[in-house]
Amino acid sequence: MDRNVLKAQMQERFEATWEEACKAVETAPDGQWIAGSEWQVQEAFQKLMADCYREIVQSRIDALPSEKQAAFPLPKARDWCCATRACIGPAC
C-alpha cells in the first residue's frame, strides 16, 4: 500500500479518536474531569495505536512478492525431496 494512502487513513482515524477523547472530557462530571474521562481517553488512543501498528505491519506484508511474483518458483515438497534424493515417504 502507498505510504501516503495509509497515512491519510490513519489521520482520519486519529481525528475520530480525538473527537471521542474530547467528548469524554467534555461529558465528565464537574469536579471529576480527570477521573471521569482518563480511562476512556486512554483506551481510545491505545486502540488507535494498535490499529496503526497493525495497518503498518500489514502494508509491509502486502508489499512482499507472492510466489507467482518471486524471482524463482518455490519448489514443491515432492520436487525438493526427489531432487535432493532425500525421499523419505511413499510420495517418491
- Model confidence at 74, pLDDT cuts 50, 70, 90, reads low
The tens digit of pLDDT for each residue in 9-27 reads: 999 999 999 999 999 999 9
Q: Extract the C-alpha cell encoding 6.
A: 495509509
Tell me how long the chain is: 92
Query: For residue 80, how far is the Cα from the chain centroid?
Result: 34
Contact 42/15 with Cβ under 8 angstroms?
Answer: no
Q: What is the pLDDT of residues 44-72, one digit of tens each?
A: 999 999 999 999 999 888 888 775 665 66
